[in-house]
Amino acid sequence: MSEVLVVGGGHNGLVASCYLAQAGLDVHLIEARDELGGATTSKEVFKGVGARLSRYSYLVSLLPVQIVRDLGLNFETIGREISSFTPTSDDRGLLISRRWDERTEISFRSVGAERDAQAWQEFYGEIAEAAPIIANTFLQPLPTKNELKRALDPKTFATLFERPLGESLAGRFSSDLVRGIVLTDGLIGTFADAFDRSLLANRCFLYHLVGNGTGEWRVPRGGMGALVDQLVARAKTLGVKIETGIRAESITSSEVVGRQRDGQLRHFNPRFIVAAIAPREVDRLQGRSKERSFAPGSQLKINMVLEKLPRLRSGISAEEAFAGTFHFDEGMEQMQCAYAEASSGSLPRVIPAEIYSHTLADRSILSESLDKNGFHTLTLFALHTSYQLFTQENEKVKEEAKVRLLRQLNSYLLDPIEECLARDEDGRACIEVKSPLDLEQELGLPEGNIFHGDLEFPFREETENLLWGSETRTENLFLAGAGSRRGGGVSGIGGHNAAMAILNQLE
Ligand SMILES: Cc1cc2nc3c(=O)[nH]c(=O)nc-3n(C[C@H](O)[C@H](O)[C@H](O)COP(=O)(O)OP(=O)(O)OC[C@H]3O[C@@H](n4cnc5c(N)ncnc54)[C@H](O)[C@@H]3O)c2cc1C
């Protein structure tokens, strides 16, 4: 009998396993799929094309350096000097450096947003002060709301935790283009109205701006799979027993029943259970279906390998335009309009989206020959393409969305993107589209929600009986995945905190 059974071999399940095994516990991990890593993996997607793509998640900000150090992982991330570029319909564009500089100032002026230059610096200056204070609580027991409030400047607390993000942005910035660039951090993987009083966009925004106390999004050297490879190696060294191809079918306080690929049932009777899977899946396995409601997944991810980067109409080099986040059609009004259209059941006529290139920062994911021949990868992440739009005719709607998005993108390019795509060994263009429905079917993400459900603020109410944010109503069952409080994204925080909750009980 194992002391701990971990259900789910995504990065959070692996992090929890490593911490618990490092503390001397006997740990057994089961994973439903044949592969470990969940949404944090790298793969050669196109036949005969040597590019290991971060197929799902792609950038890292929230993974605390402390976890990398505690577990002795040889995992590195790469910073980028350019934060974003946003082309405009009149062939200009806004280029923003990671640190405010003269070039950024000139660029704000060039798109008629000079009034927002000062507002931008003030807004992000306030957040930069709050970010380390908030991030420093992530690997600690949950603070109460009042404790966090007392630690922060009242104005910043209100912006982040109390006032709908859309209202704050409308009050502080005058350019719709600038408002939109800021707002995207509240809408990545989150289907929400910017003015929604439930503050869903605020919650997403918060986690996008505070990772490691800086909120910087960095490129994982070797791709996301490099993190999982390190975690798996560490878990094995620590003696964690890992079995893939076993899907948990029920969980009670004393037993987990799993089914192997060959149909055989397996019974586990551990002292502690770590559920590194979505809360809705835990509910289902405990016989409580449909209790939990959350906003559906709403992103479309398009992975591409290119023979060459396209030239841009604005005249900026592709190397700079795609060095950070390339936003297109992400003005605030545009995104509100897309949200309304998707909410009423139609694919937005103009789909807001952004692009990033891994290979401009790290070429180690390419084979020698692709590297030598100047190939690149691009990832397109589209917003407000919600789960329900795909449930009837997934392939048809994906194709429609792809055509629409490439047409939108091409309006900013001199070289149509289709002419830049590499070909696989059967002559097919190297482009794949993943809808929220695909994510549900391939990875088990409920309704394609990339955070396993609605993100929650990183505090507890005074009345809440939570210490680490991993506790459940079953005493020896702990949530470790993205759906635990503070767990969303590639962070390992859910895994760490579930392990701490168990180790606390053993003290
Ligand atoms: C397209 C996409 C892009 C993203 N981009 C980013 C990004 O750039 N940066 C970022 O920080 N985050 C990003 N995210 C979010 C991030 O990837 C996830 O929040 C995170 O990977 C979740 O990790 P996890 O270990 O908690 O769960 P998962 O990665 O979902 O792993 C859960 C594992 O549990 C297994 N499982 C499920 N049910 C069972 C069962 N019954 N029995 C056994 N095993 C089971 C699954 O097969 C899976 O392997 C993205 C996600 C997606 C989908």
How far is residue 481 from each of residues 32, 110, 452, 465, 485, measured CA to CA in Å? 15, 44, 8, 19, 9
Rounded distance from Cα 195 to ligand 1 centre (Å): 28
* Share above pLDDT 70 across residues of the chain, in percent, rounded to a whole number: 99
Handedness of CA 207, 209, 213, 217 (dihedral sign): positive
Answer yes or no: are the C-beta atoms of 77 and 364 closer than 8 Å: no
Give 8-22 pLDDT, tens digit per residue: 999 999 999 999 999
User: Is 476 a member of any domain?
Assistant: yes
The DSSP string of 66-92 is HHHHHTT----EE--SEEEEEE-TTS-
Rounded distance from Cα 378 to ligand 1 centre (Å): 21
Using the predicted structure, report yes or no on whether residue 34 has a pLDDT greater than 90.
yes
* CA dihedral angle for residue 355, residue 360, residue 365, residue 367, rounded to 10 degrees: 120
Angle at CA of residue 505, ends 63 and 488, nearest 5°: 25
Indicate the pLDDT class of residue 289, thresholds 50, 70 and 90. confident
Answer yes or no: are the C-beta atoms of 308 and 420 closer than 8 Å: yes
35: tokens are 């592969």
* Count of CB atoms situated within 10 Å of the CB of 249: 14
Q: Please, what is the angle between helix 493-506 and helix 11-22, to 10°? A: 30
Average pLDDT on 206-223 reads: 98
Indicate the pLDDT class of residue 507, thresholds 50, 70 and 90. confident
Pocket flag, ligand 1, residue 282 (CB < 6 Å): no
Using the predicted structure, report yes or no on whether residue 440 has a pLDDT greater than 90.
yes
SS3 473: coil
Of 62, 58, 55, whose CA–CA distance to 15 is shortest?
62
pLDDT at res. 439: 98
- Computed on alpha carbons and rounded to an integer, the radius of gyration of the chain in Å comes to 22
Rounded distance from Cα 123 to ligand 1 centre (Å): 31
Reported as type and span, the H/E element at residue 503 is helix 493-506
Of 398, 367, 385, whose CA–CA distance to 46 is shortest?
367
Amino acid at 180: G
Average pLDDT on 435-455 reads: 97
Answer yes or no: are the C-beta atoms of 357 and 378 closer than 8 Å: yes
Probe target for ligand 1 pocket from 56, 289, 484, with the most ligand atoms within 8 Å of CB: 56
Contacts by residues 260-265 (CB-CB < 8 Å, ≥ 24 positions apart): none
* Nearest protein Cα to ligand 1, atom 30: 38
Cα 341 from Cα 353, distance rounded (Å): 15
62: tokens are 């929230």
Atom of ligand 1 nearest to the CA of 480: 26
User: Is 375 a member of any domain?
Assistant: no
Pocket flag, ligand 1, residue 80 (CB < 6 Å): no
User: Is 310 a member of any domain?
Assistant: no
How far is residue 167 from each of residues 96, 180, 183, measured CA to CA in Å? 23, 12, 11
Reported as type and span, the H/E element at residue 397 is helix 394-410
* Share above pLDDT 90 across residues of the chain, in percent, rounded to a whole number: 98
How far is residue 171 from each of residues 100, 122, 123, 128, 177, measured CA to CA in Å? 21, 13, 11, 19, 14
Answer yes or no: are the C-beta atoms of 9 and 242 closer than 8 Å: yes
Indicate the pLDDT class of residue 133, thresholds 50, 70 and 90. very high
User: Is 349 a member of any domain?
Assistant: no
Q: b/e per residue, 259-281, with b = 16+ CB within 10 A? A: beeeeeeeebebbbbbbbbbbbb
pLDDT at res. 177: 98
Could you give the number of structural domains in the chain?
1
Pocket flag, ligand 1, residue 480 (CB < 6 Å): no
User: Is 285 a member of any domain?
Assistant: yes
User: Is 33 a member of any domain?
Assistant: yes
Answer yes or no: are the C-beta atoms of 503 and 5 closer than 8 Å: no
Amino acid at 70: D
18: tokens are 């490593």
Amino acid at 348: P
Give 314-333 pLDDT, tens digit per residue: 999 999 999 999 999 999 99
pLDDT at res. 246: 98
Q: Which residues pair with 53 in a beta bridge?
A: 43
Atom of ligand 1 nearest to the CA of 39: 29
Pocket flag, ligand 1, residue 338 (CB < 6 Å): no
pTM over 0.75: yes
Of 490, 358, 500, 493, whose CA–CA distance to 37 is shortest?
490
Rounded distance from Cα 264 to ligand 1 centre (Å): 26
The DSSP string of 285-319 is HTT-TT----PPP--EEEEEEESSPPPBTT---HH
Pocket flag, ligand 1, residue 276 (CB < 6 Å): yes
Cα 306 from Cα 401, distance rounded (Å): 20
Rounded distance from Cα 152 to ligand 1 centre (Å): 31
pLDDT at res. 312: 98
Using the predicted structure, report yes or no on whether residue 1 has a pLDDT greater than 60.
no
Using the predicted structure, report yes or no on whether residue 153 has a pLDDT greater than 60.
yes
Rounded distance from Cα 507 to ligand 1 centre (Å): 31
Average pLDDT over the chain, rounded to whole? 97
Q: Which residues pair with 478 in a beta bridge?
A: 274, 471
Q: Distance between alpha carbon 292 and the CA centroid of its chain, in Å?
A: 21
User: Is 265 a member of any domain?
Assistant: yes
Domain of 224 in residue numbering reads as 4-40+62-76+220-291+454-506
Atom of ligand 1 nearest to the CA of 301: 1
- What CATH number did the domain enclosing 10 receive? 3.50.50.60
Cα 459 from Cα 464, distance rounded (Å): 10
Atom of ligand 1 nearest to the CA of 246: 43
User: Is 355 a member of any domain?
Assistant: no
Indicate the pLDDT class of residue 223, thresholds 50, 70 and 90. very high
Pocket flag, ligand 1, residue 296 (CB < 6 Å): no
* Count of CB atoms situated within 10 Å of the CB of 227: 30
pLDDT at res. 292: 73
pLDDT at res. 290: 67
Atom of ligand 1 nearest to the CA of 258: 42
Pocket flag, ligand 1, residue 481 (CB < 6 Å): yes
